Amino acid sequence: MLIFKVMAPLVAGLVFLSVTFPYSIAADTLNPDQPLRDGQTIVSAKETFALGFFSPGESKHRYVGIWYNKLPGGQTTTVVWVANRSSPLSGTNGSLELNGNGTLTINSMISLPMTMVALTNPVAQLLDDGNFVIRESNSSEFAWQSFDYPTDTLLSGMKLGWDLRTGLNRNLTSWRSKDDPSPGSYVVSINLEGTTQGNLWSGSTKKWRSGPWTGITFSNVGEQPRTYSHRFGFVNNKDEVYYMYNTTGTQIVHRKLVDQSGMLQNFVWIESTGMWNLFLKYPMNECLEYSRCGPYGVCDINVWPICRCLQGFKPKSPQEWLLMDASSGCDRLTTLDCKNRSNGFMIVTLAALPETSNAIVYTNINQDECRYRCLKNCSCTAYATANISGAGLGCVIWVKELIDLRMSSHPTQDVFVRLMAADLASISNKFSKKSQTKSVVLIIVFSMAALIIPLIYFYSWGKKKMIQKDIRGNGEFELAQLQWSTLMVATHNFAMTNILGKGGFGLVYKGKLAEGREIAVKRLSKNSTQGIDEFENEVTFIAKLQHRNLVRLLGYCIKGDEKILVYEYMPNGSLDACLFGKEKGEHLDWQTRFHIIEGIARGLLYLHQDSRLRIIHRDLKASNILLDIEMNSKISDFGLARNFGDCETMIKTRKVVGTYGYMAPEYTLDGVFSMKSDVFSFGVLILEIISGQRNRILLSNPHLYLLGKAWRLWNEGKVLDLLDPLISNSFSVSQVMRCINIGLLCVQEKSEDRPSMASIIVMLSNDDAPLPEPKEPGFKAIFSTKHDAVSNQNDLHTFNDITLTEQIGR
């Protein structure tokens, strides 16, 4: 028998059906003598859901499905269930039939999966919660229900998990693509091993886990936003193990789905806008990716590097850790030996319990008994309380390596990790010596001050020479220093066929290390006007920054005049190539473009506000946005970046560096830059992504300037004419217009009128948030200044697409 599943859409949450439904048959029911034919629908009593035949996206195949029909504030065609997802029909002559014994078939051949039923007077009914049920006409009990066979969508009242009496396992499975609802690569399921939890799988690889149920919530999920709160719970008894949420009796319309990119997403319907709003998704950051730091490695998204070993442990492969690959995890400093009882426990407060699928669970013992049982078991590596909701009962004992440990600013659970006495003593000594160390440090600092001050001058003079010898991040990080020979082998002697691109810095090559890891090798051109300052800048900043929307620096190499940086490899290249290259617009549907815009915004917010440093990028442009295998956007090239002090709001410079077309007016004209300068560049990027057009500055024809064109179309009420013709019809008009509005707000002439990146994130993620009307973009002044600059023959240097202007003061 076939398992039939479904899709709900990306980002905006819409699936556009390629057909319309001309009429519905009587009410919300299907009887044995009344087949449902292609072109007909049945609609639930309150018209919330409809059931019928449809073709998703550009597919020509026909499927039987259930979709939202009408919601407060508007209508939608969001599909939530598909019957024949693996057995599509090729024509429009299909029919869904309820047989006299209570079974469902499509075209009298395709049977839906169901338990054997023997009904005498069956009826099939579509309910207002989206459940399609079969029952006796005079009974309210269901003989079969679609809720037992979910697709990629979990609705209120649906169970995710197991019926242990029948062996029924209710999973969510993604669509293969937006046009193909057949089972995709990603599955969300509830496991039964250890402490039960939800898992997100990609094939046989675990991608994310919910963490165990704490008695309050799943430990890796946390609290739901109050605005969209709903009742949810977890049942675990001898008959059933399942998760379910319920919004019955509320005004909330909410759904969860696993999409084709492998994200578990949460949507809520916003009545005021008549649109879906995405408010939560998992995994939302790198530390939520499963086992990001390997066994005994701890992930903390708020520090750099994000991976470290537990105290009493060391990296298993130091070389891989230096290359920012911590997946091999950590080894103990001292091997456990429980025979002589020379071991104890170190307390680690974590955001969630480590992986528990291989743990031993005791349901009714306290923490003291839990400790005792761990000490008696020579295989025990750690223990913790299972339930933290008040009683504190329950015990989890790990007998294998600890995997998937994560820190958080809001830690929830203590884990007691077993260590040998020698390692415990070294940890204690570190703390006991702290107070003594402080006084010693103060004496040393004051003693050395007289020596350090005279050296400042010599440091300034000699830093360009020093960087050729070594690069270290003032004690906070250490990058891998790769051998020249290693990079020669990896790039086939820097072969022309390995060139990925070219910029002001020099050439970028694709490489492959001996262990198989693909890398991008950025080689500083010996003749480049961007030199050691930019090289040092890149290393200083990007090595200290860690975010899923920033490109990751893996290491460096210096050999004579050669200066090289090594990055993670981005399979989909640059946004510039995708938007304007030979294969222009390929894979860039509207959902992908919106996903890229969101990623750039999150990366900029991290730079401006959430990182340990406050960074102004100063060269944000399409060629500096790279795309990984899942089309996640990553900001790159920090050679021109500047660090802002806590009290600084803007800086004025005599050396204006950047790329015309992306530079804010105040920076171009007066050398003044701030976070709002990056906001201007981001606005240009939004308009380029939407239009598929470069923001070229053509002195001979200013009307072709993208900002001017967008402003004119906005005022004429024809702003959708800006949309790239390559974008198909599967887009939200209101979402596109909202993005154009945000883009125009970002490129306003006065910096104080532009929104902050924090405000932009809110604007992008909340469709019901009102937007102000934009003022005129800052493009007229740029044109006049460009004419002046040429006529006054200022010192203007141009290489590739980078323009450096030496300002003589204003």
- Between residues 64 and 765, the one the model is more confident about: 64
Average pLDDT in the 639-649 region?
67
Strands 625-627 and 642-644, by their bridges, are unpaired
Predicted pLDDT at 194: 75
List beta partners, residue 454. none
| pLDDT of 13 over the 50 cut | no
Average pLDDT in the 173-200 region?
90
Local confidence band at 657 (pLDDT 50, 70, 90 cut-offs): low
* Cα 66 from chain centroid (whole Å): 29
**DSSP summary character for residue 355:** P
Residues 233, 244 contacting (CB under 8 angstroms): yes
Which residue matches tokens 């916003």? Answer: 270
List beta partners, residue 420. 343
Average pLDDT in the 285-297 region?
90
Burial of 542 (0-12, 13-18, 19+ CB in 10 A): buried
Query: Distance between CA atoms of 333 and 418, rounded to whole angstroms?
Result: 12
What dotted CATH number matches 480-568? 3.30.200.20
Residues 44, 50 contacting (CB under 8 angstroms): yes
Query: Distance between CA atoms of 145 and 164, rounded to whole angstroms?
Result: 17
Query: Distance between CA atoms of 327 and 332, rounded to whole angstroms?
Result: 16
Count of beta carbons in the 10 Å neighbourhood of residue 750: 13
Average pLDDT in the 535-552 region?
77
The set of residues, in sequence order, having a beta carbon less than 8 Å from that of 187 and lying 6+ positions away, is: 171, 172, 173, 174, 200, 201, 258
Query: Distance between CA atoms of 672 and 47, rounded to whole angstroms?
Result: 57
The annotation places the binding site for ATP at 522
| pLDDT of 510 over the 50 cut | yes
Percent of the residues in the chain that have a pLDDT greater than 70, as a whole number: 76
- Between residues 110 and 364, the one the model is more confident about: 364
Q: What is the 3-state secondary structure (H, E, C) of 601-661?
A: HHHHHHHHHHCCCEEECCCCCHHHEEECCCCCEEECCCCCCEEECCCCCCEECCEEEECCC
Torsion angle in degrees (nearest 10) through CA of 497, 499, 501, 505: -150
Mean pLDDT, the chain, as a whole number?
A: 79
Predicted pLDDT at 148: 94
The annotation places the binding site at 522
| 3-state SS, residue 206 | strand
Predicted pLDDT at 584: 66
**Annotated active-site residue in 576, 619, 678, 767:** 619
Q: What is the pLDDT of residues 14-31, one digit of tens each?
A: 333 334 343 455 489 999
Torsion angle in degrees (nearest 10) through CA of 664, 668, 669, 673: 60
Query: Distance between CA atoms of 479 and 132, rounded to whole angstroms?
Result: 58
Exposure class string for 543-556: b at 16+ Cβ within 10 A, else e: bbbbbbbbbbbbbb
Burial of 398 (0-12, 13-18, 19+ CB in 10 A): buried
Q: What is the 3-state secondary structure (H, E, C) of 687-710?
A: HHHHHCCCCCCCCCCHHHCHHHHH
Predicted pLDDT at 535: 74
Local confidence band at 650 (pLDDT 50, 70, 90 cut-offs): low
Predicted pLDDT at 481: 78
Query: Could you report how far apart the first and last alpha carbons of the chain are, in Å?
Result: 78
What is the CATH architecture of 23-284? Orthogonal Prism (2.90)
| pLDDT of 273 over the 80 cut | no
768 is catalytic: no
Predicted pLDDT at 734: 85
Q: Of the ranges 423-427, 710-714, 776-780, which is most confident? A: 710-714
Q: Residue type at 710? A: A
| Class in CATH terms, 576-806 | mainly alpha
| pLDDT of 184 over the 90 cut | yes
Average pLDDT in the 217-225 region?
65
Distinct helix (H) and strand (E) counts, the chain: 14, 50
Which residues of the chain are in CATH 2.90.10.10 domains?
Answer: 23-284
Count of beta carbons in the 10 Å neighbourhood of residue 39: 15
Average pLDDT in the 443-447 region?
40
Local confidence band at 742 (pLDDT 50, 70, 90 cut-offs): very high
Local confidence band at 802 (pLDDT 50, 70, 90 cut-offs): very low
Q: Which of 140, 17, 164 is nearest to 82 (CA)?
A: 17
Q: Which of 613, 618, 737, 651 is nearest to 686 (CA)?
A: 737
Predicted pLDDT at 653: 61
